[in-house]
Structure 1
């Protein structure tokens, strides 16, 4: 196999990288925080946020705040893409299999299935000890107020974040990596992290994000649009029972996010449960309250989605290597 034009990794290298990243994630999980690129992105965003967003007691300046948020986001995105592209370019002179192995190691921190699975499973284990431990554990995963949640509410919060982050932390990074290499995956994680930290309509952390975080929220919406629907489709396939796409679309429209409702709605319909965030959304309202067994089923299905997504992308890239490139 010869290197692609301009040193871009050949499809076989990208395919191998996806397999390596998923295997590394399953075996070792997350790297230490000091070495984690997403943690680094969060630190940069926190520092920029003090410049971008006005304090809650300051007067709003919509144009200035929006422009500052958009400029800071764009500068950070350019830096992230440049660093990822530079790392990828350094590997261009190596054999395709060496590129694949190295890119897989670099891709791994940009996805996080094992951590997501373990954190959601820990919520169920904590609930077995009592409601307060369950609330404390789910508070690690969600931004909502957990103190008023009963046992079913804790499970609803855990299942909702499982479905949404299945896209944000696994499917979308893999999708963008397959499409645009390491820079694509890094750009997506920058956008998703920025949305998590800046994408609020109102006050958070003593600062007003109504306008300052709007660009970050819209950028994440755009980059997540197709992967979220892919995640929902994979969830529908993973459990082996039929649900009409029209019914899923109707549930997805019930959330403020144009994307989060797709995987959450798919999981709610598949499990036959209702997933509610009071005052924000109610999915599959005719469903029953989730039980302990639903968490185990959801985790098993999501595990199949991760494996299936990886297999599809690897197969697609391998086919492109065999049939899509001149010999």
Structure 2
């Protein structure tokens, strides 16, 4: 009986992940009260209370935020341990809450539409929905590049990585990953305030994304023909340029997208007056406006493939438990 219960619970996780992916595809993120936004507000409040210019204090902050979130995930998973329907529902809710693929695609499409209408003002207003760059002086080519780079990076961060950790660890993996990634966005960037305090969040995010980023690159290569690209060229561009990016993970995703789309990414990025010179990734022209929709199409294909693999992985775990 105990063995059968484990099999049923594992199967409920697979069903829940599949349902959660479907809900995200249909509804995307809510405009108000998103669980990730609630977590961010609570983390920001805690930061104000515990902040010191110290790696140790930053590590404690990161440990508390991620630990509490993972603990909530464990408790939520236990609620459905003996009730498969409840377990599937909890997993579906967690999966929907941590995924951002549908919203990412919508934002990319909005940017493409604004630039196709030659509405630079609208595009500049929209860019902060995708990344933290200062859009005030960007023209169409820079806005197109920023969009394609953001779509590439966030395909891993918002879709592949959470699904990967959901497949590995169920609900706790889903919510813990999203906490890690959110903290990195909040305090993991380099600045006078967060150089030391955000160190632990940034390093933990690097670890959590190491395998998912490379899986994203492999899926991008496999699906490059969706946008007229070559799998062989995509793999070559990833191997040749992926390690040049300051991030050990983002560069793999961006180089893979550059190879699949046949464009060159990288350049100078302005983060509110803080300039970062990013190395060029890929070989070809800079992204054109038309490449934005191509990047969105590729991101969607990678997202669906990752979802299928995650569900299949949980099904495989179920069958293994049955033996």
TM-score by length of 2: 0.89
Alignment of 1:40-189 (within 5 A): 40-54=38-52, 65-95=54-84, 97-127=85-115, 128-189=117-178
| Inter-partner Cα distance in structure 2 for 1:301 and 1:177 | 22
* 1:28 Cα offset (Å): 1.5
CA distance in 2, matches of 1:52, 1:202: 18
Deviation at 1:183, TM superposition (A): 0.7
Measured in 2, the distance between the counterparts of 1:304 and 1:285 equals 21
Q: CA deviation at 1:98?
A: 4.4
Contact 1:146 1:154 in 2 (8 A): yes
CA distance in 2, matches of 1:139, 1:81: 29
Question: Deviations 1:238-284 (Å, cap 9, x if unpaired)?
Answer: 12322263531331122111101111111111111111240331333
CA contact (8 A) 1:52 1:212 kept: no
Q: What runs of 5+ residues in structure 1 fail to find an aligned partner?
A: 55-60
Residues 296 and 246 (structure 1 numbering): CA distance in 2 closer, same or farther, change over 3 Å? Answer: closer
Q: Within the alignment, does 1:281 sit opposite 2:266 as a pair? A: no
Matched-pair contact (CA < 8 Å) for 1:248–1:266: yes
User: Does residue 27 in structure 1 map to residue 26 in structure 2?
Assistant: yes
**Could you tell me which of 289, 293, 302 is aligned with 2:290?**
293
In structure 1, what is the Cα distance between the partners aligned to 2:194 and 2:308?
39
Equivalent in the alignment of 2:321: 325
Q: How far did residue 176 of structure 1 move?
A: 0.3
The residue number in structure 2 matching 1:311 is 308
More helix by share: 2
User: CA contact under 8 A between 1:81 and 1:187: conserved in structure 2?
Assistant: yes
Matches within 5 A, 1:184-223: 184-203=173-192, 208-223=193-208
For residues 115-172 of structure 1, give each alpha carbon's deviation from its aligned partner in whole angstroms, at most 9, with x where no partner exists: 1110111111122242222112113221112222221110100111111111111110
Q: 1:285–1:172: structure 2 CA closer, same or farther, 3 Å change rule?
A: closer
Question: Counterpart of 2:266 in 1: which secondary structure?
Answer: strand
* Change beyond 3 A, Cα 1:92–1:11: closer
Give 1:105 shift.
2.1
**Alpha-carbon distance in structure 2 between the residues aligned to 1:288 and 1:46:** 40
Between 127-136 and 251-260, report the one with greater CA deviation: 127-136
In structure 1, the residue matched to 2:271 is: none
CA RMSD, 1 decimal: 1.9
SS of residue in 2 equivalent to 1:276: strand
